[in-house]
Amino acid sequence: MPFRKEPPYTHGTPAGTAIVLVNLGTPDAPTTRAVRRYLKQFLSDPRVVEIPRAVWWFILNLIILPFRSSKSAEKYASIWTDEGSPLKVNTERQATLLRARMQERGHRVQVTYAMRYGQPALPDVLDSLKAQGCDRILILPAYPQYSGTTTASIFDAVFSHFSKVRNVPELRLIKHYHDHDAYIQALKASVLAHWAANGQPDKLVMSFHGVPKRTLLLGDPYHCECHKTARLLATALGLKETEYVVTFQSRFGKAEWLQPYTAPTLQELARQGVQRVDVMCPGFTSDCLETLEEIAMEAKAEFLHAGGKEFNFIPCLNGDAAWVQGMMEIAELHMVGWPTMAGAALREEEKKQAEISAEQARRLGATQ
């Protein structure tokens, strides 16, 4: 098997550590050509579409790409900013803020970002880190809830890339953080901040990205993890079961997907007399086409057309300070044992951990 060309190994070179924040991806531009190129890469992934390859090749190349690319390009154009794709802008900002927070904390680590589809391509980022001497790499997916269609695809790409590398770095991959307290608390803070400015709605709708129902029946934990996130957030907010609802968006094709579907649910709520809804997307950590166009534009129009009076979209966490802190805590949890902290910071952390251990021992003794 041919291996990738690598920089020569130098004995005694200190090993570096890196964190790679990996998101789904985005077209390079809101044009038909760029969107077609992106969709072809995305929809060619067998993790994303589990249809026999020969059949799917025909459907994808002769039906979907010729007809869907221009329509998708129009949608991307409706959310595109002067800085570019919102998903890319937000993901890059998260990586920049996380890098600064890790440095403040005393960690000597590189923090960068990559896309599973599109640019910057994950294999290129991994090659760059290895060339810079990073022999410890932590993969942090932008997906809080694990799914074979998303998180596992990132893992596939990482393993495939390093299967052609002779000197493989130490790898750690974060599977999920759907129930991590720092993530839940960041979501809670964003909702409370929105309510402080706008008041509380009749119903909070938590819309997660959908996947085919068969993935649940075949053992994918995504559905359960979405509901656990919603349950923990509702508890943190002090909501009753009647005050929030969990839905799934972005259904594609004729097969049954996870239900209830977001758009029909919003229409039904309006018909039932619900005057105001606030909608958030806890499965996305960065705003993107699925949140800014599908929810904040399309879903809003459908709710109001069905008789609803007020629709508010609560933005994703993006570069929120509480979420940057949350990412750091999640990363630290998975970097235990890696020598990333400088002398003074390391001693301070060891002191802190010793104090925590002593306090835990004191409490244990007091209960006996």
Binding site listing for Fe(2+): 209, 290
Local structure of 78: helix, strand or coil? helix
In the annotated binding site, the residues are 209, 290
- Give the Cα separation of 218 and 214 in Å (integer): 6
* CA atoms of 190 and 235, how far apart (whole Å): 15
Rounded to whole angstroms, how far apart are CA atoms 320 and 287?
12
Closest by alpha carbon to 35, among 81, 82, 67?
Answer: 67
Q: CB–CB of 47/152 below 8 Å?
A: yes
Specify the amino acid at residue 353. Answer: Q
Cis peptide before 282 (omega within 30 of 0): no
On whether the CB atoms of residues 256 and 270 are closer than 8 A, the answer is no
Contact between residue 199 and residue 131 where contact means Cβ atoms under 8 Å apart? no
Strands 310-313 and 110-118: unpaired
CB 115 within 8 A of CB 26: yes
Burial 69-90 (b: 16+ CB within 10 A, else e): beebbebbeebbeeeebbbbbb
Look up tokens 């809670």; give the residue: 188
Tell me phi and psi for residue 139, to 5 degrees.
-95, 120
